[in-house]
């Protein structure tokens, strides 16, 4: 079973990517029969132009690349990872109360028409908000408010918010304690364990549910 960790920042070496590695190291690597991979959106810059580029196959002078080809390659690589996973963790940094544009475009890409199917249809998803200060709740609200409509993913009722992420990442792994950071660690541990249980249970019915979703793929 494969858990896909989506690092939702489009910045190189982001804290969201560090959180994804943190979750692999401290939780997912210790769960039997679970493999995990990280989808780092900073590696797919052309997805940012999902709705604006490659209209006339022009070449970007600064990159020397055919925009249409680069965008198609980015899409293919990302969609292959989305289709291959059994569950997904969205790690979403809060940027001015919003989520990054690259993450918005990724969610748009998961719709039936864009993805040639529903790569996340009826796959469980766990949301993690990330903030350099005391924020992080807005990404949770935004993701759970609209991300399931066209993707047809299944949100867990659980989520986690990592505030003061720089300090959090330096803490020893001790989810059994009652300190502020330990309680966040516990939420992450419970959330990811729950995610694997959902994924196992949904796997036997997912194909049938996806076929039903395709009848009304836009959620009306």
Residue 219 domain-assigned (yes or no):
no
Tokens found for residue 200: 């196992």
Determine phi and psi for 6, rounding to 5 degrees: -95, 110
The residue among 77, 85, 52 whose CA lies nearest residue 67 is: 52
Q: Rg of the Cα trace of the chain?
A: 17
Q: Which helix (H) or strand (E) holds 102?
A: helix 101-109
Q: At what angle do helices 67-84 and 101-109 cross, to 10 degrees?
A: 70
97 has pLDDT over 90: yes
pTM of the model: 0.92
CATH number at residue 67: 3.40.50.360
In the three-class reduction of DSSP (H, G, I as helix; E, B as strand; rest coil), residue 205 is classed as: coil
Average pLDDT over residues 205-218: 96
54 has pLDDT over 70: no
Res 214: pLDDT: 95
Res 63: pLDDT: 54
Beta bridge partners of 5: 38, 89
Res 103: pLDDT: 95
Res 51: pLDDT: 63
DSSP state of 50: T
Beta bridge partners of 88: 4, 125
Largest CA distance in the chain: 58
Residue 198 domain-assigned (yes or no):
yes
pLDDT digits (tens, 9 = 90+) for 55-72: 444 445 555 556 778 888
Beta bridge partners of 39: 6
Q: What is the number of structural domains in the chain?
A: 1
Residue 220 domain-assigned (yes or no):
no
Res 45: pLDDT: 84
- Please report, for residues 58, 91, 107, the alpha-carbon distance to residue 151 in angstroms, rounded to integers and kept in the order given: 30, 17, 7
pLDDT digits (tens, 9 = 90+) for 4-41: 999 999 999 999 999 999 999 999 999 999 999 999 99
Res 76: pLDDT: 92
Res 65: pLDDT: 55
Domain that holds residue 183: 2-213
Residue 15 domain-assigned (yes or no):
yes
pLDDT digits (tens, 9 = 90+) for 188-210: 999 999 999 999 999 999 999 99
Res 19: pLDDT: 98
Residue 129 domain-assigned (yes or no):
yes
């Amino acid at each position: 079973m494969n858990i896909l960790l989506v690092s939702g920042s489009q910045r190189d070496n982001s804290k969201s990517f560090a959180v994804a590695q943190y979750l692999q190291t401290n939780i997912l690597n210790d769960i039997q029969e679970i493999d995990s991979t990280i989808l780092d959106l900073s590696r797919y810059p052309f997805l940012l132009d999902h709705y604006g580029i490659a209209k006339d196959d022009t070449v970007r002078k600064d990159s020397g690349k055919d925009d249409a080809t680069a965008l198609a390659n980015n899409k293919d690589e990302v969609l292959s990872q989305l289709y291959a996973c059994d569950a997904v963790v969205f790690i979403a940094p809060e940027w001015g109360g919003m989520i990054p544009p690259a993450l918005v475009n990724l969610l748009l890409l998961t719709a039936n028409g864009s993805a040639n199917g529903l790569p996340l249809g009826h796959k469980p998803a766990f949301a993690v908000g990330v903030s350099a200060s005391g924020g992080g709740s807005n990404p949770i609200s935004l993701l759970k408010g609209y991300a399931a409509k066209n993707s047809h993913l299944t949100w867990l009722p659980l989520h986690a918010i990592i505030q003061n992420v720089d300090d959090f990442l330096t803490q020893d792994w001790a989810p059994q304690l009652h300190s502020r950071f330990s309680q966040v660690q516990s939420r992450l541990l419970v959330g990811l364990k729950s995610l694997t249980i959902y994924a196992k249970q949904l796997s036997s019915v997912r194909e049938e549910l996806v076929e039903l979703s395709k009848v009304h793929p836009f959620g009306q």
